[in-house]
Amino acid sequence: MSLTSALQTGVSGLSANSTAVGGISENIANANTVGYKRSFSQMVTTTASQGSDKGVLSVIAQEVSTIYAAGGLIATNSSTDLAISGRGFFVVTEQPNETNQGNFLLTRAGSFLPDADGNLVNAAGYYLNGFPYDGDGNLLGVDRSSFASMEVVNVGTVTLAADATTAIDASGNVPSQETGLTTPGAPFITSSEYFTPLGAIERINISWQPTSTANVWEVTVSDNNSTTLGSFDMTFSDSGATAGAPSSYTNITSAAVAPAAFAMDASTGVVSLTLNNGATPQPLTMSFGAIGSFAGMTQFSGDFSQSYDRDGSNLGELVRTEFDDAGTIFGVFDNGTRRPLFEVPLGVVDNPNGLGERAGNAYQTTVDSGSFQALTPTGGRVGIINAGALEGSNVDIAQEMTDLIRFQRAFSTNASVVTTVDEMMEETTRLKR
């Protein structure tokens, strides 16, 4: 190797080690950056003569990112802060409602907060995307091999339309000691609320009149205006394995005036009502319990009790959101309804280290990163989502400081090589004198 070659080699060492120190400084500066992935330099030997055994060996610094390595989780007080335990990435865009699939990015920085329009955006300005649920709580037409089915996650403009009640289930107990008396006591009066198609709250009234016949009750059903719709006798079994359960429904009588209606299936204990509360009457069913079943009303000695389970709701305004570890965002509304709004999938690629880096700790899919899929967070290689937490940087300060000393020493040694070669070249020029 000539002196000139030795000088070039020393200069390449200075350049490579200074590049490595630059990478270390970036890592240290981002030690507290959410979702930051450290990079490090690998020294790669190069040969000026491309394979000649007399070639000049120099060195370059090849930067390698550790996108695959997760940082530690940091607990926060924000329910919209999200962290991933696993290999997946959040799918984000620079603009809400992005239609160009080439502009979708991946990130682990989950510091999301609603903007003025209710869109979840992280501190770097990237909008979270997911799959929207329809009004019935279903995911429809989801393409998990592309970004095409995704929408920006919005938690600020969600309202829940009124949902008319279609079914009411009655359960409870009527006291057996109240029946079979010569002079029965007064009826027990209860009522169940229901929702009209416009979300108004009305009530169905039920009268439980004990009769002079043991174990028999006369049940009368009235509408919101206390107008009788119909009645029936409900008999309970008093012995055997089904003691206390309904044994028969008899004397079914309709008093409803059209368009209202009243009917009952004596085998199932289900009353079918038509309520005259709008231009189109509202159909509704009430279940009192099947024959021989303890799932509905029962009769045992003791106190009277009754409760109703009904569907439907009035107009609901979003109160708060909740996340589960499977990536579902639930909306909790002021009418007591809890409904799924979005699934936040986790994007996975075959080779995370092949992703292209973008500003703000975001990454773009490339040919080297392999195929993309947006999968439901179920653990395993995909991971789960932790709400109320953030993923910290994967930078280890102790490791960075150790590397800094190592590369600084290497830089100093290469500088010594350059100065030594310079002295040798100066000495060589003196030989001519």
- Taking only the tens place, the pLDDT of each residue in 367-405 is 989 999 999 998 777 888 988 898 887 788 888 888 888
DSSP run (H or E) holding 45: strand 39-47
| 119 plus 175 within the same structural domain | no
Strand segments, DSSP code E, in 66-145 are: 73-75, 82-85, 90-93, 104-107, 113-114, 120-121, 127-132
Domain of 190, CATH number, reads: 2.60.98.20
Q: Are residues 143 and 212 in the same domain?
A: no
Do 258 and 281 fall into the same domain?
yes
* Contact predicate 262/200, CB 8 Å: no
Q: 297 falls in which pLDDT band (50, 70, 90)? A: very high
Ranking 28-37, 46-55, 350-359, 390-399 by mean pLDDT, the lowest is: 46-55
Percent of the chain whose predicted confidence (pLDDT) is above 90 = 47
pTM score of the predicted model: 0.65
Q: How many domains does the chain have?
A: 3
Taking each continuous run of H as one helix and of E as one strand, the counts in the chain are: 2, 31
One domain, residues 415 and 301:
no
Range of 29's domain? 3-66+394-430
54 confidence band (pLDDT: 50, 70, 90): low
349 band by pLDDT with thresholds 50, 70 and 90: very high
Given 293, 310, 327, which residue is the final one in a domain? Answer: 310
Exposure class string for 139-155: b at 16+ Cβ within 10 A, else e: beeeeeeebebbebbbb
pLDDT digits 0-9 by tens, 141-183: 889 999 988 999 998 877 777 789 999 999 999 999 999 999 9
Evaluate if residue 50 carries a pLDDT over 60. Answer: no
355 with 369: CB under 8 angstroms? yes
- 42 and 92 in a single domain? The answer is no
| Run of H or E residues at 340 | strand 338-343
CA-CA distance, 292 to 208, in Å (whole number)? Answer: 20
User: SS3 for 368?
Assistant: coil
Q: Which pLDDT tens digit goes with each residue over 203-236? A: 999 999 999 999 999 999 999 999 999 999 999 9
Q: Which residues contact 431 (CB under 8 A, 6 or more apart)?
A: none
Q: 423 and 302 in one domain? A: no
Residues 155 and 242 in one domain: no
Both 272 and 352 in a single domain? no
How buried is 249 (Cβ within 10 angstroms: 0-12 exposed, 13-18 middle, 19+ buried)?
A: buried
Q: Is residue 274 located within the same domain as residue 223?
A: yes
194 and 259 belong to one structural domain: yes
302 shares a domain with 186 = yes
Assess whether pLDDT exceeds 60 at residue 138. yes
Residue 246's pLDDT is what?
A: 96
pLDDT of residue 314: 82
Instruction: Please provide residue 203's backbone torsions phi and psi, each rounded to the nearest 5 degrees.
Output: -135, 145
Q: How far is CA 21 from the centre of its chain?
A: 41
Residues of the chain with pLDDT > 70, as a percent, come to 97
> 79-125 pLDDT, tens per residue?
889 988 888 899 999 999 888 988 999 998 989 999 988 899 998 99
Residue 19 in this model has a pLDDT that exceeds 90: no
pLDDT of residue 55: 58
Q: Which of 267, 293, 310 finishes a domain?
A: 310
Q: Residue 49 above 60 pLDDT?
A: no
Distance of CA 252 to the CA centre of its chain: 49
Whether residue 347 is predicted with pLDDT greater than 70 in this model: the reply is: yes
Give the torsion sign (CA, 287, 288, 293, 298): positive
Give CA separation, 92 vs 70, 89, 141, 344, in Å: 19, 9, 20, 11
Query: 305 with 172, same domain?
Result: yes
pLDDT of amino acid 301: 95
**Taking residues 413-432, what's their average pLDDT?**
81
pLDDT of residue 161: 74
CA 124/CA 100 separation, integer angstroms: 20
Q: What pLDDT sits at residue 405?
A: 86
Of 310, 334, 366, which residue is a domain's last? 310
